[in-house]
Structure 1
Amino acid sequence: MGKRRFLTIPDRFYTIMTQSFTPRVFSGIKPSGGLTLGNYLGAIKRFVGMQGGEFETVYCVVDMHAITVWQDPTELATATREVAAGYMAAGLDPTKSILFNQSQVSAHAELGWIFNCVARVGWMNRMTQFKDKAGSNAEKVSLGLYAYPSLMAADILLYHATHVPVGEDQKQHVELTRDIAAKFNHDFKVDFFPETEPVIEGPATRVMNLRDGTKKMSKSGESDMERINMLDDADKIAKKFKKAKTDPESLPETLDGLKDRPEARNLVDIYSALNDSTPEAVIAEYAGAGWGQFKPTLADLAVAKLAPISEEMQRLMNDPTEIDRILANGAEKARGIANPILKDTYDIVGFLRG
């Protein structure tokens, strides 16, 4: 039997190995298509709620992820600004949170490559979103679409983020991030990357299609009536909710009565999320109500909550230079956190630099 090999860790890694992690939130939205109510309730509204509290908050427009499928360059730039405008119109304050677009911080791509070499092919093969997006055409999609979960892990761990607010459908990506962090720490005998916790809470963390409650609300759905766009005006918002698909039954006495009624459950969840309440509270208030009563009430609530955001987004989009300035300032702040962490990662891996 050969001699067992032990890795010797240089003294300069002592503080890395024993560090405690600053409570920090990181999350981002991909600028492909337009923002929808799903983005707002499932992500942005929670991003805003977490700023100014116990966490340092870092929020990103993940434009590098957008190009896993081909994007028109002009449209990508516009979509990037739209996401940034959506963040700010919803209440995200660039003086309280770091707001930037991913491609302005090259450390994302650099750490992403290291994590490509840490992650295992078998882990990627289990990622359900790749299977859903690639479908039967998996041999012809970009390598980026297959490998992007390791870049997502880099996005998070580049800031030593301890928490990530995500929808239920993104939980698998955070679990992969934890696996990559654990393997890196184990392979190099360090306690360097935190095992990030997903934050999945509240109603409507997964907002469904207004015409088919079994499908997620999507930017790419066939009909515009399937979704609420964050740039929709008050009239469009009201019209879409009033025409949303339901069923013949009234609202039940208990939440259990919404089982196997996906469209009804979706509208109740949306109402509760917009009203900062719970589905149980909505049912208690509207038990026995018909859709002729509930949908107009929901439409009025949605207009009251969303139309001001839409108007502010339009105002911000009319000044792209100011959006670009805010993103550039945020990127500078982001690099202040990311570059030292990348430098330490390079030292741990053994990369020589002048």
Structure 2
Amino acid sequence: MTAFKPLVFSGVQPTGNLHLGNYLGAIRRWVALQAEHPCLFCVVDLHAITVWQEPADLERQIREVTAAFLASGIDAGEHILFNQSRVPEHAELAWIFNCVARLGWMNRMTQFKDKAGKDRENASLGLLAYPSLMAADILAYRATLVPVGEDQKQHLELTRDIAAKFNHDFSARISEKGLGVPMPVGDETVDGYFPLTEPLIEGPATRIMSLKDGSKKMSKSDPSDLSRINLTDDADTISKKIRKAKTDPDALPSEPKGLAGRPEADNLVGIYAALADRTKADVLTEYGGRPFSEFKPALADLAVEKLAPIAGEMRRHLADPAEIDRTLRDGAARARAIAATTLAEVKSIIGLLGN
């Protein structure tokens, strides 16, 4: 092998309804990536259980996320769509990475601090080791590219650190086994087994905020369902939520700088721009000077046009859970064919018998 082949890995947790922010910020981009690279799309259910999940809800949510992927245009035939727990190599490789990663690396992860809160002693060990499993998710396929948001950049950096340490610690063995790819390290070139995965960031991220508070990110954990547009919402619900979205009393400005200090106005204009594949400046050229009583109906019509078909497709898929399960099983079998080879080679490199 002389180079790592481009491969994209993307994952999402099944921890509640997917919403407009998930679609515009991630899923829509993943659909476009399918034309450029081979992709693996993973429902990361093992990550979900780092905090308590009601078992029946978790089952439902795994299928809902899968349905959302399919309804949005993820091609499970051409690419690989699966749920993480069906590929046990993720968990086994994560244990090996637990023995490569350092405790100090984990303690520095800001997401652990945020999710554990003040009661860190009561957090699960899985929550602390979450980034090691994320590294295994990616490196089980030796993926070279991962689409990431701001909240995952630090974990991807840790994935790179784990890969680099593994390559360094076992460099002689990697070369001896003939499993390496030439990689630059400082002023020299060494044989590495794992790639230093790169973040895939395409243009400015689409950051969608709450419909009730423009200073907070749209979230599936917000207690108010009116704060978000779920991908399962029908046309009437979408329209209702946009009509009730928080605004201010002023008309829309004629250019983007006029949105400064107006978070709700900025959010709604941003949603329109993202759904229409236009810039905020374009939207304000058309709607600047007009009141929200005119802009909101236009935004509602656009949102219904773009999102209602996805909701309809999701409902169609969810009506046949056996077919969703078949899709996930088939994807997992294809994923395991790759991950099992990686794990066998890793075991050989580190000196474990039994392969």
- TM (normalized to structure 1)? 0.91
Mapping of 1:27-66 within 5 angstroms? 27-51=10-34, 53-66=35-48
Shift of 1:204: 5.3
**Residue identity in the other structure for 2:16:** G
Instruction: Name stretches of at least 5 consecutive residues in structure 1 with no aligned partner.
Output: 1-14
Q: Across the two proteins, how many residue pairs are aligned to each other?
A: 336
Aligned-partner SS, 2:42: strand
Moved over 4 A (4+): none
Give, in whole Å, the separation in 2 of the partners of 1:118 and 1:133: 24
Relative to structure 1, the CA distance from residue 296 to residue 204 in structure 2 (aligned partners, 3 Å threshold; closer, same or farther) is farther
Matched with 1:144 is 126
The residue aligned with 1:337 is: 338
| Structure 2: gaps spanning 5 or more residues | 172-190
How many Å separate the matches in 2 of 1:113 and 1:41? 34
How much identity, in percent, do the aligned residues show?
Answer: 63
Alpha-carbon distance in 2 for matches of 1:308, 1:106: 35
Kindly state the Cα deviation for residue 284 of structure 1 after the two structures are TM-superposed: 3.1
1:195 is displaced (CA, Å) by 1.3
- 1:252 is paired with a residue of what secondary structure? coil
Q: What does 1:280-299 align with in structure 2 at a 5 Å threshold?
A: 280-299=281-300
Name the counterpart of 1:276: 277
1:286 deviation in Å? 2.5
Counterpart code for 2:7? R
- Give the partner amino acid of 1:169: D
Task: Give 2:192's aligned amino acid.
Answer: D
Q: Aligned equivalents of 1:203 and 1:225: distance in 2? A: 26
Conserved in 2, the CA contact under 8 Å of 1:25 and 1:57?
yes
Superimposed CA distance per residue, residues 5-41 of structure 1 (whole angstroms, 9 cap, x where no aligned partner):
xxxxxxxxxx5xxx41111110111011111112211
**Equivalent in the alignment of 1:200:** 201
Q: Cα–Cα, structure 1 residues 238 and 85, in superposed 2: closer, same or farther, change >3 Å?
A: same
Deviations 1:309-346 (A, max 9, x none): 11110111010000000110000111111111111111
How far has the Cα of 1:200 moved from its partner? Answer: 2.6
Equivalent in 16, 20, 43 of residue 3 of structure 2: 20
Aligned equivalents of 2:137, 2:294: Cα separation in 1: 45
Structure 1 partner of 2:351: 350
What are the within-5 Å matches in structure 2 for residues 87-126 of structure 1? 87-126=69-108
Distance 2:291 2:103 in 1: 51
Alignment partner, residue 224 of structure 1? 225
Residue matched to 1:10: none
Structure 2 length normalisation: TM-score? 0.90
Distance (whole Å) between structure 2 residues aligned to residue 238 and residue 144 of structure 1: 40
Q: Give the one of 134, 156, 162 matched to 1:174.
A: 156
CA RMSD across the alignment: 1.6
1:204-253 deviation line (CA, Å, top 9, x unaligned): 53321111122121111111111111111111111111111122333323
Instruction: Give the 3-state SS of the residue equivalent to 2:195 in structure 1.
Output: coil
CA distance, structure 2, for counterparts of residue 191 and residue 259 of structure 1: 48
Q: Distance in 2 between matches of 1:262 and 1:204?
A: 17
CA deviation after TM superposition for structure 1 residue 68, in Å = 0.6
Distance 2:107 2:340 in 1: 31
- Whichever residue aligns with residue 313 of structure 2, its letter is E
Contact 1:203 1:269 in 2 (8 A): no
1:183 to 2:184 alignment: no
How far is 1:202 from its partner?
Answer: 4.5
CA contact (8 A) 1:204 1:270 kept: no
Q: How far does residue 203 in structure 1 lie from its aligned partner after superposition?
A: 5.4
